[in-house]
Structure 1
């Protein structure tokens, strides 16, 4: 069954982490199943079948039949639009609306960036610091103090 679960993940383009998140189970559970440490529990199988109702339960349990239920398409069950559907008038209309929205968002972002660039930059300068003295400590517990010559500054 682990190979069939891996096959589902490959067909759905899901990483083990995303697959676990989709099923709302621990990522470790999927990791253990894929590594062969544990067999899938009934809970995992039920979550796969409830979240992906287009998966054929007989195929998942026994490997017989096809992966998908006949008459069901994995994309239509999820509710995701088919991006390659060009003949549908609504799909073409939605694509045009999305393009217009993207263009207006890009123009808005560009004008916001121009406003940001035109802002003046003010620098906060610190007052100049001068060395007052340098103290060097030696490992025999003695030290020397050096005071810079006031005439050089």
Structure 2
């Protein structure tokens, strides 16, 4: 069972972390401002829909932390303060496929066979040119 007073404290931590007021927080997660007011005052308990909107709107908020106060906030992987370790940053890097000039010029033709540039000719206004071959 979720302790409403503790849940409210954790919501206020989220407000502070993102520098949001209760009304801007409500707008951010797309709920009525009265809903936030009722939860903060202890009149209502948060619904599952409310909790899921918070978790899906803010990456640093972990579900288990929000409900039970156990875990970390902000979550260690998405730390906004720049305290991520070098290993965590390296783990997030994904290799990028090199792009050919053809794929940049015709991005919708990815299903065609791979084409490679064979020759580039640069023509100058004085009538001269340069030719580059692969």
TM-score, normalised on structure 2? 0.53
* Alpha-carbon distance between aligned partners in 1 of 2:44 and 2:58, rounded to the nearest angstrom: 22
Alignment CA distance shift 1:22-1:75 (3 Å): farther
After superposition, the C-alpha distances for 1:34-56 in whole angstroms (9 at most, x for unaligned) are 11111111011000000002212
User: Equivalent residues in 2 for 1:3-14 (5 A)?
Assistant: 3-14=9-20
Equivalent in 17, 21, 24 of residue 30 of structure 2 = 24
* Alpha-carbon distance between aligned partners in 2 of 1:10 and 1:68, rounded to the nearest angstrom: 12
The residue that corresponds to 2:46 in the other structure is 40
After superposition, the C-alpha distances for 1:30-86 in whole angstroms (9 at most, x for unaligned) are 00001111111101100000000221211101001211222112489xxxxxxxxxx
Task: State whether structure 2 residue 75 is matched by structure 1 residue 69.
Answer: yes
* Alpha-carbon distance between aligned partners in 1 of 2:15 and 2:62, rounded to the nearest angstrom: 14
Contact 1:2/1:40 (8 A) holds in 2: no
Gaps (5+ residues) in structure 2?
Answer: 1-6, 83-134
User: Equivalent residues in 2 for 1:48-127 (5 A)?
Assistant: 48-74=54-80
TM-score, normalised on structure 1? 0.47
Q: After the TM superposition, which segments of 4 or more aligned residues of structure 1 sit over 3 Å from their partners? A: none
Which of 1 and 2 has greater Rg?
A: 1
Structure with bigger RCO (C-alpha 8 Å, 6+ apart): 2
